[in-house]
Copies of this chain bind each other. A is one copy, B any other.
Amino acid sequence: MTGIDLNTVEEDDGVAQDQAVRRRAPHSPSSLSPSVCLELWHACAGPLISLPRKGSVVVYLPQGHLEQLTGDCAGGEDPANGGPCGEPLRCDVPPHVFCRVVDINLHAETATDEVYAQLSLVPDSEELEKQLPEAELEDELDPDELVGVSKTSVTRHMFCKTLTASDTSTHGGFSVPRRAAEDCFPPLDYKQQRPSQELIAKDLHGTEWRFRHIYRGQPRRHLLTTGWSAFVNKKKLVSGDAVLFLRGDDGELRLGIRRAAPLKGGVPCSVARGQSPNPGAFSSAVNAIASKSVFHVYYNPRTRPSDFIVPYGLFLKSLKSSFSIGMRFKTHVEGEDAADRRHTGLITGVGDRDPSRWPGSKWKCLLVRWDDDVETGRQNRVSPWEIEPAGSVQGSNCLSTPTSKRAKIALSSANPNFPVPGGNGCPDFGESARFQKVLQGQEVLGFLSPFDGSGAANPQFSEMRRCIPDGGRHMMAAAAAARSSVRAPLEKPDAPCHGIGFGEPSRFHKVLQGQEIFPSKQPFPGALGDRQAENNGGAGTGGFTSSSFRRVVFAPDDGRTSGRWPPQLRGYNPLVQQQSPSPAQVSSPSSVLMFQQAATTPQLPGGGDSRYPPRRAGNLLGAASFSDFLGMHVELGAFHGRRAPTPASDSDPREDQESPSSGGSSSCRLFGFSLTETCQGRSMVVDGGPPSPPQSSNEVTAESSSPAVPQVAAKSMARSCTKVSALYDLCATPFCRSPCFFTLL
């Protein structure tokens, strides 16, 4: 009311009665503007959303597609009925169609702001088959950027808050968490008795929203008042939904929504997306496959994952895996109604789901019996890439055999909910409720302390690697799938695998709910403060020495490129890796999540608010970067879940020293796996030849285009990537199980 242009509640249905309030940005009429909105899109989609990158290869399973389109994927039915075979649909397509992702378009529903993506696929099997032997791992490691992700995107500050009842009530405004306001909003003139300003934020559609931002009350707090209720009403926000603010480097505010539940009563998605009815979608796909032309699938982060589009690497891995009757497995099944749960079961059969139409299809080729039969309606058929072998196995899967070291580490964890760092080769997710939260799409912050600095033994690593079967590699375009054969990929099975810690348990818990604050007004200093130095020496995490390297680490565009190797994994100069800062102090539990990415103007850690010590390297990855880890190729979320939080408390970084995995060595590590040592001491066997350097190496170098970065960094990177690919094979964890949440609406 103090001179600020007030927003009024507008009527619905597009009859804008108050044109002055919401103004469409002239430069972004209807599609998403390239840079900021990409970040916003991913922020709204949630960190678990991974998209294949443009140019990557996926496996399209028409059988699964058809089942989903015909609503026949409910599962739990008699497996003998053959699924949707009764229908007179032409299905003269192979069961596995290799496709190249030629385009990815990010969209947001006009009515609901719900984000979705359209993937354009082109059948591409011949080329793939030719390239297979060499391209296999390369493909998994290909660090190309996700399409559309701006490489020049810049530092952003953002926060995400789940709306409270007060936030959505008609009577008040929006209570802005203090640090969020300080970090994302322009500073107020606190000298005034009741400082206030007008904020203008653009949503995904480029529509401007104006809010009065005031700092008042006793005690003082930040509030959005005028304009807020209009926004709530217009977006039909309810308590439980989350809003996120994102500040670009230019100071421009972006505003996103993540709803707790899909907005009811809206236009059906298929209509809103101009999608033809279901049967047509499939037939068009079939036609496109026959003519090797492009077809489209829609990706909705909200809908139940469907695995009829599988990342190439994951599919390869599932082919390599040997699943035999009697083998126990575990997976993560997302029920339609209940929260996500982790389930285990027993493989009771292996066979085609539709022998007549798609013989040899891997789609739902495994018959399983779940341990908890109480929950009916669960599918008794799964696809190989949906599951992973579990603990006590009758079959011969070495993944289930933890090394003695790991077992010891795991046992050292007093809290079963938070397994000790390092985990084991067949990791346990611990208490499932945590993952529940994670899988609901709440934020997961980067708790990956990339490397713990120890160059300890890595035989375990190669050992596990050796166990990965690679049979089925030649079944690529197969109409008949073979059972996987065992193959030893690594000659040195004892690669070290040191885990790194998460934060202290409660914090970890909160973060998994997406409510954690990662406070830091400015990114991390070029020079290390005391606590950082302490971390470097004690916990073995490295600090940064130059902002250019930091930029490599935090490159925000990477933070949006789910399904890709995050820069940290593409290759890492050990020098750089030793300089990761220590984690910042974690604020009290709240429903606010803050993202902190790269800073253009590095600051001393002690600068700003000294109450918040610099964060450690793991945190530096940030939620956005962490979402990379949940991508298709490296489902690092699995690692994440397996990891125990680091014993180091944020309030006392010295606790890092107590981490069993932080042995003080300075080797390059990833989640406790010492990558550098693996590279140094052992040679990796990558299918008949040295690993080809990832394409991205130069790119990353160029990105962090400091002349100080030698070309050798790229080579190191390449080796690291190779190791990571081995890691990837180890990571067929529940997070990997549903790597892509594709759905054709």
Contact = CB atoms under 8 A, between A and B. Distances in A.
Interface of A: 11-16, 111, 233, 236, 263-267, 271
A593 to B, nearest CB: 27
B271 A14 contact: no
Contact of A13 (B15, B266, B271): B266
A262 to B, nearest CB: 12
A265 B15 CA distance: 6
Nearest to A16: B265
**Which label, helix, strand, loop or mixed, suits the secondary structure of the A interface?**
loop
A233 B11 CA distance: 9
Copies of this chain present in the complex amount to 2
Contacts of A236: 11, 13, 15
Contacts of A12: 11-13
Nearest to A280: B276
A572 to B, nearest CB: 50
Nearest to A264: B15
B264 A111 contact: no
A265 B263 CA distance: 20
Interface centre among A15, A16, A236, A263 (most CB of B within 10 A): A15
A731 B265 CA distance: 50
20 contacts: A11-B12, A11-B233, A11-B236, A12-B12, A12-B13, A13-B13, A13-B111, A13-B236, A13-B265, A13-B266, A14-B264, A14-B265, A14-B266, A15-B236, A15-B263, A15-B264, A15-B265, A16-B265, A267-B267, A271-B271
A264 B15 CA distance: 7
Question: What 4 pairs across the A-B complex have the smallest Cβ distances?
Answer: A14-B265, A12-B12, A15-B265, A12-B13
Contacts of A271: 271
Contacts of A267: 267
Nearest to A271: B271
Given A13-B236, A15-B264, A267-B267, 9 more contacts: A11-B12, A12-B12, A13-B13, A13-B266, A14-B264, A15-B236, A15-B265, A16-B265, A271-B271
A555 to B, nearest CB: 40
A266 B266 CA distance: 14
A241 to B, nearest CB: 13
A263 B13 CA distance: 10
A231 to B, nearest CB: 14
Nearest to A112: B13
Contacts of A266: 13-14
Contacts of A233: 11
A352 to B, nearest CB: 36
Nearest to A9: B11
Nearest to A265: B14
Nearest to A276: B276
Nearest to A266: B13
Contacts of A263: 15
A15 to B, nearest CB: 4
Nearest to A11: B12
Nearest to A15: B265
A15 B112 CA distance: 13
A614 to B, nearest CB: 46
Contacts of A111: 13
A393 to B, nearest CB: 50
Nearest to A233: B11
A21 to B, nearest CB: 16
A71 to B, nearest CB: 18
A740 to B, nearest CB: 29
A698 to B, nearest CB: 45
A305 B14 CA distance: 27
A13 B236 CA distance: 10
A481 B266 CA distance: 50
A653 to B, nearest CB: 48
A170 to B, nearest CB: 12
Contacts of A13: 12-13, 111, 236, 265-266
> Which one of A13, A264, A267 has the greatest number of beta carbons of chain B within 10 Å?
A13
A12 B236 CA distance: 10
A233 B111 CA distance: 20
Contacts of A15: 236, 263-265
A266 B263 CA distance: 19
A700 to B, nearest CB: 44
A264 B16 CA distance: 10
A307 to B, nearest CB: 30
A717 to B, nearest CB: 49
Contacts of A264: 14-15
Nearest to A238: B15
A109 to B, nearest CB: 13
A270 to B, nearest CB: 11
A236 B16 CA distance: 12
